Structure 1
Amino acid sequence: MSLAEILDSIPHRPPMLLLDEIVSRETNRVVCRKTFRAEEFYFQGHYPDYPLVPGVILCEATMQAGAVLLSEVAQATNCVPVAGRLNDVKFKRMIRPGDTVEIEANLDDRVSDAYFLSGKILHEGKPACTLNFVVKLAPKQ
């Protein structure tokens, strides 16, 4: 699915939009793709002589995939997805400029207005980051 479809699904915009395309989408699972370009703003300072994608950016990309997964309910209720909690974050591989990753988010449970998700980022088929997170839908103001 195209970038236009991502922009229609979630409120994130450049430079904080961290998804390039939606690879597949099911009721409780989405897979997205992102290529990290050398011009990304965070590489200027993280680190100038050895650029790495910051771990917080990997977490944010995974939560954006989760927002895509929840986009239909968010739009139907005129809400935006807001991160409520991150758990069990593990960084297993470094991601560098030029790397393309697949970002997977799975809806594991829902309790009232809290959505419990798990996610992972794969680089060359191997886990680079795994995490669990909670998203709440906040009314637009």
Structure 2
Amino acid sequence: MKESYDWILKQLPYSEPFLFVEEILNISDKGIEGSYRFSPDLDIYKGHFKNKPVTPGVILTECCAQIGLVCLGIYLLGKKSELENVAIGMSSSQMDFLIPVYPGEQVRVISELVYFRFQKLKCEVKMYNENDKLVCKGVLAGMIGVANE
């Protein structure tokens, strides 16, 4: 039986239309793998680009960050305990975009932990399309912790 990672998804500080995580496929202390399908109905496709829509690189980066940094960070912080007030902030991103992602495509993000210390999380991320072609890759870093109220 496949393990459920719904507890992580419930902790995400995002909702539609800015949620770019559908499923966590695998996760460990060393990394994460997750997926998302870009619905053709997303508003971003109405103007990027006229009559030939593609997913903007900033949205691909956000998808990689939500899966590769935030979901992994919640796992590392929580280890299945309930977290409240998860605070996140991306501090750096270096991404290379190789091929476009079109409306309706499903992508898979694989993130490998570089380090997690003093609430700073750094990962190497790769995104693949449904044909297992590398879409983009890079290094993302951010701060993640539990905020005090």
What TM-score, normalized to structure 2? Answer: 0.83
* Counterpart pick for 2:27 among 12, 25, 28: 25
CA gap of 1:140–1:56, structure 2 versus 1, over 3 A, is: farther
* C-alpha distance in 2 between matches for 1:85 and 1:131: 11
CA gap of 1:2–1:53, structure 2 versus 1, over 3 A, is: farther
Is the 8 Å Cα contact of residues 13 and 86 (structure 2) preserved in structure 1? no
Could you tell me which runs of 5 or more consecutive residues in structure 1 were left unpaired when the two chains were aligned.
none
Kindly provide the CA deviation profile for residues 87-119 of structure 1, in whole angstroms up to 9, marking residues without a partner as x: 2x1000100012111011221113422111111
Map 1:2-81 onto structure 2 (within 5 A): 4-65=6-67, 66-72=69-75, 73=77, 76=83, 78-81=85-88
Is the 8 Å Cα contact of residues 20 and 34 (structure 1) preserved in structure 2? yes
1:119 paired to 2:121: no
Aligned length: 140
| Correspondence for 2:142 | 135
Could you tell me which runs of 5 or more consecutive residues in structure 2 were left unpaired when the two chains were aligned.
none
CA gap of 1:67–1:37, structure 2 versus 1, over 3 A, is: same
* C-alpha distance in 2 between matches for 1:78 and 1:49: 41
CA gap of 1:97–1:140, structure 2 versus 1, over 3 A, is: farther
| Correspondence for 1:91 | 97
**Match of 1:20, as an amino acid?**
E
* C-alpha distance in 1 between matches for 2:91 and 2:9: 22
* C-alpha distance in 2 between matches for 1:140 and 1:97: 39
What TM-score, normalized to structure 1? Answer: 0.88
RMSD of aligned C-alpha atoms? 2.2
